[in-house]
């Protein structure tokens, strides 16, 4: 079996061999910039890990791992534009570095390129692979629309928020693993369990992301601290606080959250003081642990030796406990 680090290097080497440059250069320069951002490559590596788990040939899964990575980058470019987020991975986002129009085109190009790689699957599993890919791409759009809707709503519940991140973030974790399992020829039962493992891992990953946005170190996290608050994002922290607060505090949360006259730092600190008083940091960590445990339960039910499942178990624990 391969380690995560080995599969990361294999994927990174394969990515470097791809030629994304073409004319007009104004279209492809932002594409290359986005793809070259040194993220953790978790999703494409998950595809390779799933294939390896069931004894498949990881070389056969490399095109689909690339498809997953390009699809993910497409969502990031458009997400940053819609949120007007200036920084990702510690660097300017595509729309900030170039323009909104160029970001839209670059994202669209990545979406089409992702399909070029996805369809390279073995004909025997191609229909199922594409079914997963199409469903996941559409769910990501649904989740993003829900996220945009939440910015104008004052009645977003904790259930609403969790459903949004399931669609926007978690399903891509599950799909990455499911595609790898399909390529390896795993049974439906095992693939479904692996998908559920990925879904729970993705939920924990996003909640950790929410936590780090406010309580993390900006230099380590790669985003401005408190950006979600400035973007009026009703994250887990906010929706959980709304369930814990008394009526007066709920009114205050809503007033602060939708206040546009407050200086940015004052707005961030005002919300953080309320979150601290309601113990939201601990409650978020508890929920992350709950998702992690649910995911590992699903992983342990897969009909494969425990030692083959250990790399995935360790990865889930690592990415849901990222440093501040």
d(CA 280, CA 224): 20
Lowest mean pLDDT among 36-40, 89-93, 98-102, 267-271: 36-40
Query: What is the rounded average pLDDT of the residues 16-36?
Result: 93
Q: Provide the mean pLDDT of the chain.
A: 94
d(CA 79, CA 141): 10
Query: What is the rounded average pLDDT of the residues 216-245?
Result: 85
Query: What is the rounded average pLDDT of the residues 119-131?
Result: 98
- Whether 129 has a pLDDT exceeding 80, the answer reads yes
Per-residue pLDDT band for 251 (boundaries 50, 70, 90) equals: very high
Q: Which letter does DSSP use for residue 302 in this model? A: S
- Whether 218 has a pLDDT exceeding 80, the answer reads no
Cβ atoms of 51 and 61 closer than 8 Å: yes
Domains and CATH numbers, the chain: 4-317 (1.10.600.10)
Query: What is the rounded average pLDDT of the residues 38-47?
Result: 91
Which candidate, 67, 72, 73, places its Cα nearest to that of 93? 73
Per-residue pLDDT band for 40 (boundaries 50, 70, 90) equals: confident
**What three-state secondary structure class fits 263?**
coil
In this structure, what token pair is assigned to residue 299? 């992983």
d(CA 198, CA 210): 18
- Whether 223 has a pLDDT exceeding 80, the answer reads no
Query: What is the rounded average pLDDT of the residues 2-31?
Result: 94
How high is the pLDDT of residue 48? 98
- Whether 324 has a pLDDT exceeding 60, the answer reads no
Query: What is the rounded average pLDDT of the residues 86-95?
Result: 88
d(CA 318, CA 205): 10
How high is the pLDDT of residue 260? 77
Per-residue pLDDT band for 323 (boundaries 50, 70, 90) equals: low
How high is the pLDDT of residue 219? 66
- Whether 124 has a pLDDT exceeding 60, the answer reads yes
Percent of the chain surpassing pLDDT 70: 97
- Whether 227 has a pLDDT exceeding 90, the answer reads no
Query: What is the rounded average pLDDT of the residues 284-312?
Result: 97
Phi and psi at 88, nearest 5°, equal -145, 135
How high is the pLDDT of residue 110? 97
Task: Name the one residue in this structure whose structure tokens are 């178990």.
Answer: 313
pTM above 0.85, yes or no: yes
- Whether 300 has a pLDDT exceeding 60, the answer reads yes
């Amino acid at each position: 079996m391969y380690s995560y680090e080995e599969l990361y290097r294999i994927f990174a080497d394969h990515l470097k061999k791809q030629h994304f440059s073409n004319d007009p250069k104004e279209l492809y320069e932002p594409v290359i910039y986005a793809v070259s951002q040194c993220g953790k490559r978790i999703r494409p590596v998950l595809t390779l890990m799933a294939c390896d788990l069931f004894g498949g040939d990881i070389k056969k899964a490399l095109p689909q791992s690339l498809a997953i990575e390009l699809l993910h980058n497409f969502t990031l470019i458009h997400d940053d534009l819609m949120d007007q987020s200036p920084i990702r991975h510690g660097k300017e986002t595509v729309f900030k570095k170039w323009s909104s129009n160029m970001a839209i085109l670059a994202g669209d190009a990545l979406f089409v390129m992702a399909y070029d790689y996805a369809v390279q699957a073995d004909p025997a599993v191609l229909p199922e692979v594409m079914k997963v890919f199409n469903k996941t791409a559409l769910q990501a759009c649904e989740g993003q629309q829900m996220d945009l809707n939440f910015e104008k709503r004052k009645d977003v519940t904790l259930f609403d928020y969790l459903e949004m991140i399931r669609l926007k973030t978690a399903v891509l974790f599950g799909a990455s693993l499911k595609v790898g399992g399909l390529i390896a020829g795993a049974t439906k039962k095992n693939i479904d369990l692996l998908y559920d493992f990925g879904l729970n891992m993705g939920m924990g990953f996003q909640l950790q992301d929410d936590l780090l946005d406010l309580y993390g170190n900006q230099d380590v996290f790669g985003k401005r601290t408190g950006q979600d608050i400035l973007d009026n994002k009703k994250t887990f922290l906010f929706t959980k606080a709304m369930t814990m607060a008394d009526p007066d505090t709920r009114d205050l949360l809503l007033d602060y959250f939708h206040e546009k006259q407050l200086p940015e730092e004052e707005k961030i600190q005002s919300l953080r003081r309320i979150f601290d008083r309601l113990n939201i940091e601990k409650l978020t960590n508890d929920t992350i642990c709950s998702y992690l445990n649910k995911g590992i339960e699903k992983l342990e039910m897969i009909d494969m030796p425990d030692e083959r499942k250990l790399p995935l178990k360790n990865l889930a624990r690592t990415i849901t406990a990222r440093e501040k």
